[in-house]
């Protein structure tokens, strides 16, 4: 069991368990620093950039954090499937359902910045089929649909 991250936002037991499970199944080590970065992302209610993560960690820990360190944490979190990266805005956010591997599909609100993760098996299957028909080997698949969320479009 990983130690509690020091100077990190409280991490709900559910997310900590998921993080431990993802690390165990991928043979990765969950260090307190990695867990602290994950806790910051979970505490944010919107996608953040690597530099915003640096600022949050620095504020929380009251010391300098190198951007490279934040990028390493983010790479790790993406590798084990806990965090996704939005390509269009180069920002990061925690996965809503990290218990299993999946392609990323997002509805992004351009007014309030909300990122709604949706998971469609049929869409995933269709995209794989299209790629296969063309002899294409997909490595990473992220679908981002921008527009207005239900509360912003009602204003």
Q: Applying CB under 5 A, which residues contact Zn ion?
A: 95, 109, 111-112, 114, 149, 152
The nearer residue to Zn ion, 55 or 148, going by C-beta atoms, is: 148
Q: Which residues contact 76 (CB under 8 A, 6 or more apart)?
A: 28, 34
Provide the sign of the torsion angle of the four alpha carbons 139, 132, 97, 90, taken in this order: positive
Min CB(147)–Zn ion separation in Å:
9
The nearer residue to Zn ion, 133 or 155, going by C-beta atoms, is: 155
The nearer residue to Zn ion, 54 or 94, going by C-beta atoms, is: 94
Helices and strands (H and E) in the chain: how many: 6, 5
Min CB(83)–Zn ion separation in Å:
9
β-pair partners for 115: 108
Min CB(33)–Zn ion separation in Å:
23
The nearer residue to Zn ion, 111 or 142, going by C-beta atoms, is: 111
What does the buried/exposed string (b/e) look like for 82-120 if buried means 16 or more CB atoms within 10 Å of the residue's CB? bbbbbeebebbbbbeebeeebbbbbbbbeeeebbeeeee
Distance (Å, rounded) from C-alpha 34 to C-alpha 53?
Answer: 12
Min CB(37)–Zn ion separation in Å:
17
């Amino acid at each position: 069991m990983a130690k509690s991250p020091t100077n990190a936002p409280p991490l709900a037991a559910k997310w900590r368990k998921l993080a431990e499970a993802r690390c165990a199944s991928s043979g990765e080590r969950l260090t307190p620093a990695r867990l602290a970065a994950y806790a910051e992302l979970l505490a944010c209610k919107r996608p953040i950039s690597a530099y915003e993560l640096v600022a949050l960690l620095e504020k929380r820990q009251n010391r300098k954090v190198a951007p490279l360190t934040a990028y390493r944490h983010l790479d790790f979190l993406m590798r084990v499937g806990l965090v996704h990266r939005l390509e269009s805005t180069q920002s990061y956010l925690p996965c809503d359902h990290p218990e299993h591997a999946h392609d990323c599909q997002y509805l992004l609100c351009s007014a309030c910045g909300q990122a709604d993760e949706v998971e469609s098996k049929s869409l995933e299957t269709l995209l794989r089929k299209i790629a296969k028909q063309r002899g294409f080997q997909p490595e990473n698949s992220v679908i981002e649909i921008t527009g207005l969320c239900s509360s912003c479009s009602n204003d």
